[in-house]
């Protein structure tokens, strides 16, 4: 029985290693799906700011902000942070901003229910992945981290004392 469990454990290890190869693609897919949602919402607001302001004035009830300011901030958050999320720049902070923005959207629109409310819950749940784990290997964050690590290693080697042979 012990040999069987060992063999099963080995197969499990191979499966995990195989899935780990595709993890960066999964991280990228999550970021791109979420970025698309916020990008198109922002472009819709931008296409007709007068209607967007009217919606924020009569339908959405954003606390503490005037309807004009809320409409412009909402559009800017969606457009700017969707680009940051897609490219993986400041991914954890970007996901946090969009997560809070999503919560404010749900709170501000009391008539949100059914499938639309479920979508917001789904987006919030998906935003937890980049918020807690970062952008993954296929992000600008990871590229900068690798570059800074390479530079630090190069600097460390360059300043290391010479060893006698």
Quote the pLDDT of residue 158: 67
Mean pLDDT, residues 3-30 taken together: 90
Whether the pLDDT of residue 3 is over 70: the answer is yes
Q: Is residue 163 part of a domain?
A: no
* Whole-structure pTM value: 0.84
Q: Is residue 152 part of a domain?
A: yes
pLDDT tens digits for range 110-156: 888 899 999 999 999 999 999 999 999 999 999 999 988 877 676 77
Count of structural domains within the chain: 1
pLDDT tens digits for range 21-42: 999 999 999 999 999 999 999 9
Q: Is residue 117 part of a domain?
A: yes
Q: Whole domain around residue 70: which residue ranges?
A: 2-158
Q: Is residue 79 part of a domain?
A: yes
Quote the pLDDT of residue 55: 92
Q: Is residue 22 part of a domain?
A: yes
Whether the pLDDT of residue 95 is over 90: the answer is yes
Q: Is residue 137 part of a domain?
A: yes
Q: Is residue 131 part of a domain?
A: yes
pLDDT band at residue 11, thresholds of 50, 70 and 90? confident
Quote the pLDDT of residue 64: 87
Q: Is residue 165 part of a domain?
A: no
Torsion of CA 66, 68, 70, 72, to 10 degrees: -160
pLDDT band at residue 160, thresholds of 50, 70 and 90? low
Mean pLDDT, residues 93-99 taken together: 98
Quote the pLDDT of residue 164: 55
């Amino acid at each position: 029985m012990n040999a069987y469990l060992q063999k099963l454990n080995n197969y499990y290890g191979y499966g995990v290693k195989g899935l780990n190869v595709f993890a960066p693609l999964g991280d990228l897919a999550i970021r791109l799906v979420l970025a698309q949602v916020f990008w198109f919402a922002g472009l819709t607001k931008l296409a007709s700011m007068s209607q967007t302001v009217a919606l924020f004035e009569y339908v959405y009830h954003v606390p503490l902000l005037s309807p004009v300011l809320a409409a412009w901030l909402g559009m800017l958050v969606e457009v700017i942070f969707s680009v940051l999320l897609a490219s993986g720049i400041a991914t954890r902070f970007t996901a946090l901003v969009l997560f809070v923005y999503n919560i404010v959207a749900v709170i501000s629109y009391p008539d949100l229910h059914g499938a639309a409310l479920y979508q917001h819950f789904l987006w919030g749940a998906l935003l937890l992945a980049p918020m807690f784990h970062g952008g993954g290997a296929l992000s600008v964050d990871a590229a900068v981290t690798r570059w800074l690590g390479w530079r630090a290693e190069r600097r460390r080697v360059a300043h290391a004392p010479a060893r006698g042979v």
